[in-house]
Amino acid sequence: MKRILLIILLLPCVLFSQGKLKKAKESLSESSATSTSSSTTSNDRGTRTSRNNHRNSSNNNGLFYDFFVELGYYAIYGVVVGNSEYRSLTPYPYYNHTFGEYLKGDALSSKKSIFKISGIRHFNKRINGLEINANYRILPIFGLEASYIHFSERTIIGSDFLEISSLMANYYRIREKNISLWWGLGTSYVGNDVKNLGFAYNIGTEIYPFKPISLHVSWKQSYINSTSIDVFKTQIKYHIKNTALFTGYHDYQLGSEKNGGFIFGMEYTF
């Protein structure tokens, strides 16, 4: 009788003890096939109607349409790509009275490429994380960035894990001594029970106001099945030659589950 009573009392705890990582993996595993197929017919009808309307408007306003399309193209190109003015790379931020990562022209100490690696520890009440990042600036305007993060959570029924890997190709749009700004396209892979590859994009900036401090802000979104993984990072770094110690706040939206927390990390530049 006592055993039965104990089971009855503990059963609700077991049933409702599903962790956040479990819920995140379930939401990231959901496919959009059902919702896509149910709306195909109405979308087809809407597409035919919009095509007819588009033909009529194009015939009546062809000159204006072409003008604004061309104007929009050059405006977007200027903002997103811009002019590729020559810059060289410093060995590391605040090297020998410099400020950020870039120099105008060449100097004896300037470099054509740099490689940075960092490790980050995430602190949260329920979910902890360990993150590793590698950034290879092949050219001053172009680089590859790889990242891996391992989330772990301990619940009443055991431990759960979630692993996310990303590979981004970044274009460095603004390359000045006090600020760097980049955007990139790539892919993210979610392992464990999800096992899905999705498109990803990011945008970020690094600001160098005064020695030895820099500020990092970035956003990355990865599309996984019918949902996404959104990452917003803010960091403040303290530079000691080619090493940087930093802290900040990273906010993760893992499908339906939110996971944010303070971080501490170290970065090394080769």
Vertex 213 angle, CA 212 and 217, to 5°: 150
**Domain encompassing residue 149:** 87-269
Residue 60 has pLDDT above 60, yes or no: no
Tell whether 201 is covered by a domain.
Answer: yes
What is the per-residue pLDDT across 228-255, written as a single tens digit (0 to 9) for each? Answer: 999 999 999 999 999 999 999 999 999 9
Torsion of CA 235, 240, 243, 245, to 10 degrees: -30
With respect to residue 14, please indicate whether it lies within any of the assigned structural domains. Answer: no
Residue 26 lies in a domain: no
pLDDT of residue 78: 57
- Judge whether 153 lies within some domain: yes
237: helix, coil or strand? Answer: strand
Residue 51 lies in a domain: no
What is the total count of domains within the chain?
A: 1
Q: Which of 165, 179, 172, 99 is nearest to 132 (CA)?
A: 165
Whichever domain contains 94, its CATH number is 2.40.160
Rounded Cα distance between 265 and 245, Å, is: 6
pLDDT tens digits along 22-48? 999 999 998 755 444 444 444 555 555
- Top-confidence range, 80-94, 146-160, 233-247: 233-247
Residue 124 lies in a domain: yes
Burial of 133 (0-12, 13-18, 19+ CB in 10 A): middle
Is the model more confident about 12 or about 219? 219
Please determine, for residue 117, whether its predicted confidence score (pLDDT) is greater than 50: yes
Question: Is 4 among the domain residues?
Answer: no
Q: Is the residue at 37 inside a domain?
A: no
